[in-house]
Structure 1
Amino acid sequence: MRLDSSTARLALEVRNPDLLLTRFYTFDTHTHALDQLPLPEAKAWWQGLEDAEFGNLYLHGYGNRQIGQHKGISAYKAAEQSKLWEAPDMAFYGIAADGVLAYHPDCPELPLQLLNPQTGKPTGSTCSQQQAAEAVARYSRERFLDCQYPVLYRLGEAYFAQVQAFLQEQLQVQAVLALEYAETEAHLVISFYTSDDSGKLKNELAVFDLDGKLHQKMEIASQLNGFGSDTFFIFNHKLYFILNKDILQVFQLLA
């Protein structure tokens, strides 16, 4: 799941490894309209979601499928679910303020190129990998100004122990392995895991006010073999998360 904050749209990739099927969707957070990109099913499995910005979804292909090397960039206009352009010989690096940064996967020593986000054509600007990393980080701070992703804390880290103790006191649960934490002006949002007798994990999401009062608690996944990351995010005072791997749910965080 990726957020295009400039148009308040979500891009979603849904994979079914048993059937080797992949589908890509765009979700308008204002109208709640969900639309699927019209991609051939056989081709879609060999594509993946890179990012969403400038009103577009950017997908990658694979150069070496055995090692998962990304190669090829396809851009789709989210509002119309139509293909804009394709750069089959380039690989996606990241989003900068002026466009899409890309590199040649077969010649990684070459400078990165800046592509026009609407046409895919090189703008003529090039940069080093360090300059590209700085440009992506700089624009990320700007584009996600109204968006908040949680911080992942793992077992053994100091903040994990602090939040684990808070959950034990408030909910009488023993969080294990890892948890994700986000704090807004009015709420604490925590995604955590508990283990059953068989060793399987359950992922739960809890919302507290700043006084520690519980406002919402729900199970969002079960029978897990391991923990994940980015299990939720907050955008324009709304909490977004995936329930049971196939349901997008949105909660309004009231002040």
Structure 2
Amino acid sequence: MRLDSSAARLALEVRDPDLLLTRFYTFNTHTHNLAQLPLPEAKAWWQGLEDAEFGNLYLHGYGNRQLGQHKGISAYKAADQSKLWEVAEMAFYGTMSGGILAYNPDRPELPLQLINPQTGAPTGSTCSQQEAAEAVAQYSRERFQDCLYPVLYRQGEAYFAQVQAFLEEQLQVQAVLALEYAETEAHLVISFYTSEESGKLKNELAVFDLDGKLHQKMEIASQLNGFGSDTFFIFNHKLYFILNKDILQVFQLLA
């Protein structure tokens, strides 16, 4: 799942490893309209979601399928799911304010190229890997200024123990292994794991106000073998998360 904050859209990749099927969707966070990209099923399995920005979805192909090497970039317009362009020989590196940074996977020592995000044409600008990393990091701070991702705390870290004690006091639960924490001007949002009788894990999500009063608590996954990251995020005062691995749910966070 990738967020295009400039267009207020989500891009989603859904994979079924048993059937070797992959589907890509674009979700309008204003209208709640979900649309699927019209890709051939045989080809879609060998593509993956890189990013979403500038009103587009950017997918990668594979150069070496055994090693999982990314090669090829395809761009689709989110508004109507039409294909904009494809660059077969380059690989996606990241997004900066001027467009898409790409590199040659067969000659990774060469400078990275800046690509026009709407046409796929090189702009003529190049940069080193260090310059590319700095540009992508800077733009990431700008594009996600209205988006809040949780911080992951693992068991054994000081902040894990503090939040674990808070959950035990408020909910009478024992959080294990890891948890994710985010704080807004009015809410605390915590994703945490508890042990099930089977020995596997249950993932729950809880929303509190700043006084510690519980506003919402729900189970979002069960029978898990381990913990994950980015189990939720907050965008424009709305809480987004995946329920049971296949349902996107959105909650309005009221002040």
Aligned-partner Cα distance in 1 for 2:137–2:131: 10
Aligned-pair distance for 1:159? 1.0
Question: Hey, what does 2:198 align to over in structure 1?
Answer: 198
Q: State the partner residue of 1:212.
A: 212
Shift of 1:197: 2.4
Structure 1 residue aligned with 2:4: 4
CA–CA distance in structure 2, aligned partners of residues 47 and 226 of structure 1? 26
Q: Does 1:115 align with 2:107?
A: no
The alpha carbon displacement at 1:201 in A equals 0.7
Once the two structures are TM-superposed, the CA of residue 162 in structure 1 deviates from its matched residue by 1.0
Q: Relative to structure 2, which stretch is displaced further, 161-170 or 50-59?
A: 161-170
Matching residue of 1:181: 181
Deviation for aligned residue 1:198:
2.1
Two-structure CA RMSD over aligned residues (Å): 0.7
TM-superposed CA distance for 1:235, in Å, is 0.4
**Partner deviation per Cα, 1:98-155 (whole Å, 9 max, x = no partner):** 0001111111100111000001111011111111111011111111111111111111
Q: Distance in 2 between matches of 1:226 and 1:87?
A: 37
**Deviations, residues 72-115 of structure 1 (Å, cap 9, x unaligned):** 11000000101001111111111000000111111110011100
* Aligned residue in 2 for 1:167: 167
What amino acid does structure 1 have at the position aligned with 2:146?
D
- Whole-angstrom CA distance in 2 between matches of 1:182 and 1:8: 20
Which amino acid letter does the alignment assign opposite residue 130 of structure 2? Q
Q: Identify the range of structure 1 (150-159 vs 110-119) with the bigger mean alpha-carbon deviation.
A: 150-159
Within 5 Å, give how 1:230-245 maps onto structure 2: 230-245=230-245
Q: Residues 175-226 of structure 1, C-alpha deviation per residue, up to 9 Å, x if partnerless?
A: 1111111000000000011111222111100000001110000000111111
158-167 vs 216-225, which moves further = 158-167
What whole-Å deviation, never above 9, does each CA across 1:41-94 have from its counterpart, x for those lacking one?
011011110100000000011111112111111000000101001111111111
Q: Which residue of 2 aligns with 1:139?
A: 139
2:208 counterpart of 1:225: no
Runs of 5+ unmatched residues, structure 2 = none
Give the counterpart letter for 2:97 in structure 1: A
Alignment of 1:6-25 (within 5 A): 6-25=6-25
User: Would you identify which runs of 4 or more consecutive aligned residues in structure 1 move more than 3 Å?
Assistant: none
Distance 2:176 2:104 in 1: 41
Counterpart AA for 2:122: P
Q: Give the structure 2 partner of residue 38 of structure 1.
A: 38
State the Cα distance separating 1:160 from its structure 2 match.
1.0
TM-score by length of structure 2 reads 0.99
